Structure 1
Amino acid sequence: MQITKPHVALLASPGMGHLIPVLELAKRLVTHHNLQVTVLVLATDTSSDHLSQLLNSQNHDFLNIVLLPTTDISGLVEPDASIVTKLLVMMHQSLPALRSTISAMKFRPMALIVDLFGTEAMKVADEFGMLKYVFIASNAWFLAVTIYAPAVDKNELAVHVNQQQLLKIPGCKPVEFQDTLEAFLDPNDPMYDGFLHAGMEISAADGIIVNTWEELEFTTLEGLRDNTKLGCIAKAPVYPIGPLVRQAAPQALESKVLDWLDMQPTESVIYVSFGSGGRLPAKQMIELAWGLEQSQQRFIWVVRPPLENDISGSFLTLGKVLLPRFN
């Protein structure tokens, strides 16, 4: 009788910023837990150079990667709808393809892991008797806000948005208005309902995997586990598995950056980057630059050109380095 490894499927939402963390988690499940892993990828444009390069760079003997058919949502959402709304509709429309793909597998997965935008797919896992997990590639505080959002009274939310008051989260740091999620700003936007839906679905998972670690967010993780605080909402166990970092090939850096790094004490430099979508207006860029400068910490900041004028040349200071990012 052939003995097989436990099989787990991961569903990645469209976008490189969603796919890359899912691939990194998949690799860890294979190397650290000896699982057989299938990564199901919903791509909006399978001909994208970045996507093709990323998928072709994977070891397909190591990971089984399956591309789900692209979905046409042009007749389902307004052209000016938010990217979050579009992603949620795309993921909804992909459910039949996901269902048929899993059904056709000779060795079906015992568990399905979805990301934030794929929570609706957990009902497909239920149909096949699979365990269902949610992977939050962000931090535990974002998870706390997400699962608590459906329980927030609309009047409390209105005070938070209209009067810019703190939004209190049990057992966690409150949300200041300037840090609030875009989904909170307009309760009439489809994104608002979609976000609340995701929060409720996350709470129904068999487990929640978060890209953080105990020492970094001890208080928030405790709040998520405390049944008198957020634990009564997040009934699923929370597993901090971070830091989950992409092992990318080394890229060429200017020699002055490498020379500067070589002169710094071990583990003394902070790396700052906001990912593939992290582009800020010039005003916010300036404020962030001042904050980093006044922290008196050594740092390397990888930054995309700001949404207004390009100010990247203003922030190369002795002991702190900013690297422009254009890809």
Structure 2
Amino acid sequence: MTPKILEIIELPPVDISELVSPDATVVTRICVIMREIKPALRSAISILSFRPAAMIADLFGTEAMVVADELEIPKYVYVPSNAWFLALQIYTPQLDKIVEGEYVDQKEPLKIPGCRPIRPEDLVDPMLDRTNQQYFENLRIGVQMPMCNGILLNTWQDLQPSALEALRDEELLGRIVKVPVYPIGPLIRQTKPLGTNSELFIWLDKQPRESVIYVSFGSGGTLSLEQMAELAFGLELSQQNFIWVVRPPTLKTGDGSFFNAGTGEDNGTLRYLPEEQRMNATMLTEELGVAVRSKTLPSKGVVAREEIEMLIRRIMVDKEGTEIRTRAKELKYGAENALVQGGSSMNALSTVAKECEISSKRQKMTAW
């Protein structure tokens, strides 16, 4: 008989209709649900026949750590994003005290100790309106995250060494975090591969190596109809072969934008917010040495087709593109090496596993 390695326990739904306004954001709703579901979570853990070795909460589940404390269970927080995002998240309570007025109205990038500054336009959605409830929910998460035993981060050491060092340095962000940060990524969900005889692979096999652009905006990317049109024209004007992942809209919004990639199958994580991808894009493009926006064309909320064409040709045609593609390969191989036996991410995850094992042995000595 095959032993059970995973058991999913569904908690009963909670009614938050009296706790949030009808127009409350998704972030607010999730945070309130996680807060109200604590009694059910406590009961579900208490009736288990064994004492859990650890509790791992996601970004929105930091309030569950109170339950872990009550039951004397080690607690970790998993952040399915990069070190720069984590740095911003835990430094937000400090920014709340330092910055006056709305962050988006600041003339200069916001400074984060030991990390690259973040432009106001790259901020995550909960930070765009300091009067909205989701801002205070996000602020609370930033306060609670360092109260765990360790933070698991979906990045790897060689991708963001400076930001990770800042999170560990007690003279920088380490004085706020105060717990180990474990880069254990990149974590992706393994999906069933397409058959090599599919129409897509047959077409790809006929193309020259490294001659096709892959365009995808992840599981939570949003594009307005106008931006969709500009991107389509830009791809066409570039005269480069491309594959563009576009899914039917799953949620239409009042401003004409929609979610065009719904389940997270492309990267294995549920994105915190579409705006987080702007931080991801900025981080990766700086790592690759290519600007997110050109310095010669104005940006007015929508990236123009001419700018898209120029950036595509810069990467695929111009001499500079060779260096960019080489750097991208280095990051790819670095990610692969981090996950093999002896790799940085594998070592970090092994450290967490050993801590949980030691905790489990201690717990067996006490009654449950």
How far apart are 1:271 and its partner, in Å?
A: 5.4
Task: Tell me which residue corresponds to 1:80.
Answer: 23
Task: Tell me which residue corresponds to 2:358.
Answer: none
SS at 1:247's partner residue?
coil
Distance 1:295 1:132, change over 3 A: farther
Task: Tell me which residue corresponds to 2:10.
Answer: 67
Matched, 1:221 2:164: yes
Quick one: which of 282, 295, 298 aligns to 2:225? 282
Task: Tell me which residue corresponds to 2:118.
Answer: 175
For structure 2, list consecutive stretches of 5 or more residues without a partner in the other structure: 261-304, 317-368
Task: Tell me which residue corresponds to 1:234.
Answer: 177
Task: Tell me which residue corresponds to 1:101.
Answer: 44
Task: Tell me which residue corresponds to 1:121.
Answer: 64
How far apart are 1:165 and its partner, in Å?
A: 2.5
Distance 1:75 1:264, change over 3 A: farther
Residue identity in the other structure for 1:202: M
State how far apart, in whole Å, the 2-side matches of 1:287 and 1:230 are: 40
State how far apart, in whole Å, the 2-side matches of 1:290 and 1:240 are: 39
Distance 1:309 1:150, change over 3 A: closer
Residue identity in the other structure for 2:25: S
Residue identity in the other structure for 1:90: I
Distance 1:220 1:264, change over 3 A: farther
Distance 1:136 1:309, change over 3 A: closer
What's the TM-score, normalizing by structure 2?
A: 0.61
User: Alignment identity in percent?
Assistant: 51
Matched, 1:208 2:151: yes
Partner deviation per Cα, 1:50-105 (whole Å, 9 max, x = no partner): xxxxxxxxx99231111111111111111100110000010011100000011101
- Kept in 2: contact 1:71–1:94 (CA 8 A): yes
- Kept in 2: contact 1:208–1:237 (CA 8 A): yes
State how far apart, in whole Å, the 2-side matches of 1:292 and 1:172 are: 33
- How does 1:1-327 map onto structure 2 within 5 Å? 61-154=4-97, 156=99, 158=101, 160-251=103-194, 255-262=198-205, 263=207, 265=209, 273-285=216-228, 300-304=243-247, 308=256
How far apart are 1:141 and its partner, in Å?
A: 1.1
Distance 1:276 1:127, change over 3 A: same
Count of residues paired in the alignment: 259
State how far apart, in whole Å, the 2-side matches of 1:130 and 1:309 are: 43
Partner deviation per Cα, 1:8-57 (whole Å, 9 max, x = no partner): xxxxxxxxxxxxxxxxxxxxxxxxxxxxxxxxxxxxxxxxxxxxxxxxxx
What's the TM-score, normalizing by structure 1?
A: 0.68
- Kept in 2: contact 1:157–1:167 (CA 8 A): no
Residue identity in the other structure for 2:139: L
Distance 1:243 1:290, change over 3 A: farther
For structure 1, list consecutive stretches of 5 or more residues without a partner in the other structure: 1-58, 321-327
Partner deviation per Cα, 1:135-174 (whole Å, 9 max, x = no partner): 0011111111100001114452536322343111111121
| Structure number, greater radius of gyration | 2
State how far apart, in whole Å, the 1-side matches of 2:236 and 2:84 are: 25
Residue identity in the other structure for 1:221: L
Q: What RMSD in Å do the two structures reach over aligned CA positions?
A: 3.7
State how far apart, in whole Å, the 1-side matches of 2:233 and 2:87 are: 29
Specify which structure has the higher proportion of strand.
1
